[in-house]
């Protein structure tokens, strides 16, 4: 079932324009300032700003450290990406707010996810859909989960799926075959946003939904969304309990992804020497960030 989760990668780059300068000074800057758009530079300079790529920091209740990094720190925004990373390219985190109430947010594809916890010993990050966390008690998931498998992978041993069918029975007299009993799975929860299509919506776990039934129901519904959830969060929930609003609590508990330790390029040597790998937006290795604000290539030895 993990095949549901496709891979998308969208990168936004903003052009930077140099102010009008004398001709010789312009040439000097053109030679010494790395480009912030277009192709990644071949290598990083021999030093970097150590204050930008801090060893670790806290955002709210979550401790953030390599291979994650703070996109705020290197002045990344939605419309501009720094030409180098302080860790694995897609593991940049935006810290929204300040103090204990701050929220760490990571982007997967086009969507935002709140970082609930990071377990460094097991290379696991626990995420929850940010829209679900700020929505009503009975939220309406609006998208599947998509990410780039170069850095992340779906933890099939710790996760299960919930499949939602929204806006069903839009045609008069439309219903599923009598052999398919949906009574315990129809969402009956005050606060569920009204879906487009018909009046009925359903939620199933992967164990309760056979492929033939899934196809049959999907043909009668406006929208089908499948999202990962932590398997432990489902313990104790009967189908009717999920349909009466319990699914909202399960979604709030999030799901787990594991990050892949790089073993196939210069990053392996960099990390082995105590450095942190820096990548460009094209995921090309640019250099090894060492503890003395120097850049090694490919390691800190």
- Give the C-alpha separation, 272 to 30, whole Å: 34
Q: Cα–Cα distance between 17 and 218 in angstroms, integer?
A: 50
Percent of the chain's residues with pLDDT above 90 = 45
37: tokens are 């758009």
Q: What is the predicted pLDDT for the residue at 174?
A: 66
Reported as a single tens digit per residue, the pLDDT across 58-100 is: 999 999 999 999 887 555 444 435 567 889 988 999 999 999 9
- The mean pLDDT value of the chain amounts to 80
Q: Are 251 and 141 in contact (CB under 8 A)?
A: yes
pLDDT for 3 equals 38
Render 191-214 in DSSP notation, one character per residue: TPPPPSSSSEEEEEEGGG--HHHH
Q: CA dist 229 to 152, 205, 232, Å?
A: 16, 10, 9
Q: The pTM is what?
A: 0.79
Confidence of residue 197 (pLDDT cuts 50, 70, 90): low
**pLDDT tens-digit series, residues 260-298:** 876 667 899 999 999 999 988 888 889 999 988 999 989
SS3 at position 150: coil
Residue 14's pLDDT is 35
Please tell me whether residue 2 adopts helix, strand or coil conformation. helix
Q: Give the pLDDT band of residue 36 (cuts 50, 70, 90).
A: very low
pLDDT band at 240; cut points 50, 70, 90 = very high
Helix/strand/coil percent split, the chain, to 5 = 20, 30, 50
Q: Is the pLDDT of residue 177 over 80?
A: no
Q: What is the DSSP string of 212-266?
A: HHHHHHHTTEEEEEEEEEEGGGGTT--HHHIIIIIHHHHHHT-EEEEEPPP-SSH
């Amino acid at each position: 079932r993990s095949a549901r989760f496709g891979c998308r990668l969208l990168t936004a780059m903003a052009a930077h324009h140099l102010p009008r300068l004398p001709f010789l000074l312009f040439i000097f800057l053109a030679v010494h300032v790395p480009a912030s758009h277009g192709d990644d530079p071949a290598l990083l300079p021999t030093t970097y700003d150590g204050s930008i790529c801090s060893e670790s920091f806290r955002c709210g209740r979550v401790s953030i450290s390599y291979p994650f990094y703070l996109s705020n720190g290197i002045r990344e925004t939605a419309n501009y990406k720094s030409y180098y990373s302080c860790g694995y390219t897609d593991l940049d985190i935006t810290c929204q707010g300040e103090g204990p109430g701050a929220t760490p947010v990571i982007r997967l594809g086009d969507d935002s996810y709140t970082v609930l916890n990071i377990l460094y010993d097991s290379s696991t990050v626990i995420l929850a859909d940010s829209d679900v966390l700020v929505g009503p008690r009975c939220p309406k998931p609006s998208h599947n989960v998509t990410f780039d498998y170069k850095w992340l992978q779906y933890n099939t041993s710790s996760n299960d799926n919930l499949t939602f069918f929204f806006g069903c029975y839009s045609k008069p007299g439309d219903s599923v075959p009598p052999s398919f009993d949906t009574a315990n799975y129809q969402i009956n929860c005050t606060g569920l946003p009204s879906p487009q299509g018909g009046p009925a919506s359903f939620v199933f776990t992967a164990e309760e939904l056979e492929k033939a039934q899934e196809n049959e129901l999907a043909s009668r519904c406006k929208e089908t969304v499948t999202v990962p959830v932590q398997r432990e969060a489902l313990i104790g929930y009967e189908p009717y309990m999920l349909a009466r609003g319990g699914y909202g609590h399960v979604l709030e508990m999030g799901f787990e992804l594991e990050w892949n330790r790089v073993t196939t390029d210069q990053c392996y040597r960099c990390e082995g020497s105590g450095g942190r790998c820096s990548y460009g937006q094209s995921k090309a290795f640019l250099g090894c960030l060492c503890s003395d604000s120097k850049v090694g290539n490919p390691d800190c030895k």
